Amino acid sequence: MNLRFDRVCLHAFGHALPPVELSSAAIEERLGPLYERLKLPAGRLELMTGIGSRRLWPPGTRPSDGAAAAGAAAIAHSGIDPRALECLLFTSVSRDMMEPATAAFVHRTLKLPPSCLLFDISNACLGFLDGMVMLANMLELGQVRAGLLVAGETAEDLIASTLQHLLADTTLTRKTIKPLFASLTIGSGAVALVMTRSDYLDTGHYLRGGACRANTAHNDLCQGGQNAEQGTLMSTDSEQLLGKGIETAAACWTAFRENLGWELNAIDRFFCHQVGKAHAQMLFETLRLDPAKNFETLPTLGNVGSVSAPITMALGIEQGALVPGQRAAILGIGSGINALMLGIDW
């Protein structure tokens, strides 16, 4: 797939950070009986993942609530009249319900115009980046002049169900708890982005293109869902997912650089989907990336699903890690396995 854009501007990000902070130490405290039974050392979770804490929403918060809050912030930062937005895409793993589309609830909350095209995109942790591509295509073709992407992830049910299962199942061993422990790295959050066509509103921040790669022979390495008895659970073969994910990312990175013609040393900043410190280290080594050019939020936010890479970029811009005139790459890897990498001239 040839991802090249000439008329697409990134305008303004918005984000919403949940108010509840849950530390890895607090999770281990809740898992005290399991740790004692299996003789697991305290501090194991943070040591293995590099995640000190993650954020959670108050009870009753729906994915559309966080997404709408982030969307309102993005619109305010952009200065664009909400009535000028012609497309709204909701891109999270989490959703309010099966039907209608969660985008419909965000649309109503933000009071966007009835002429605004809206729908959901779902592709595990790559949803937001896929949304950037879909909206960019419409902007490039001139079908819309301005649009909004939103994502709101809610990890509360997953963490609660995982903790309950780990404590209730006394047959679990050090080996059989591994597929469940990856769920404890997940956090909540929301992010949004206004994008425009350059001849409508030129921000000077351009989405240039990118590349994607699929490796679906390994779509069984991370799977999750809900059931009435156990709630939301996810099973992850972390070691295999790490290896196959990096393999897919390497192929995508080669295609990304060939498609855009970008030399490695010409990229000033990287914003990555964040899984854990072992993943980041292997990714940088394999792709020959300078860790000093990476901006991360992993220690304080954990893995925020589809929100992870874009909120990291949003916070990086907010904190001055990416400034006008610099070049950035946003690197996405998701279960499936899929990789999508996008290049931005900021």
CA distance 308 to 92: 11
- CA-wise closest residue to 45 among 154, 199, 131, 166: 166
CA distance 340 to 346: 19
3-state helix vs strand vs coil in the chain, percent to 5: 40, 25, 30
**Which residue among the candidates 36, 99, 229, 263 is catalytic per the annotation?**
99
- Name residues whose C-beta falls within 8 Å of residue 220's C-beta, 6 or more positions apart in sequence: none
User: What 8-state DSSP symbol labels residue 336?
Assistant: T
Q: Judge whether 272 counts as a catalytic residue.
A: no
Q: Judge whether 247 counts as a catalytic residue.
A: no
Strands 87-90 and 146-153: parallel
Secondary structure (3-state) at 168: helix
**Which residue among the candidates 9, 125, 252, 272 is catalytic per the annotation?**
125
- CA-wise closest residue to 35 among 22, 44, 46, 48: 44
Active-site residue list = 99, 125
